[in-house]
């Protein structure tokens, strides 16, 4: 999935602005290190490299 659509989904789930999530997504894309964005009722929302 491209960073922009994933950032929009994650931002909506976590109730945060899309911009910072997109920046975080690009960082994950660069270094491959997963990062947790927030905790939801269903568990952590984590951004990770998919490929």
The answer to whether 47 and 38 have CB atoms below 8 angstroms apart is: no
Q: How confident is the model at residue 1 (pLDDT cuts 50, 70, 90)?
A: low
Q: What does the pLDDT look like over 17-44, one tens digit per residue? A: 999 998 998 899 899 999 999 999 999 9
pTM above 0.85, yes or no: no
Residue-range domain boundaries for the chain: 3-47
Q: b/e for 10-29, b at 16 or more Cβ within 10 A?
A: bbeeeebeeeebbebbeebb
Whether pLDDT at 47 is above 60: yes
Rg of the chain over Cα atoms, rounded to whole angstroms, equals 10
Integer Cα distance of 16 and 11 in angstroms:
5
């Amino acid at each position: 999935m491209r960073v922009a659509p994933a950032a929009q989904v994650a931002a909506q789930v976590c109730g945060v602005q899309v911009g910072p999530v997109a920046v975080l997504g690009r960082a994950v894309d660069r270094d491959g290190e997963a990062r947790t964005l927030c905790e939801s009722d269903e568990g952590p929302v984590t951004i990770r490299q998919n490929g």
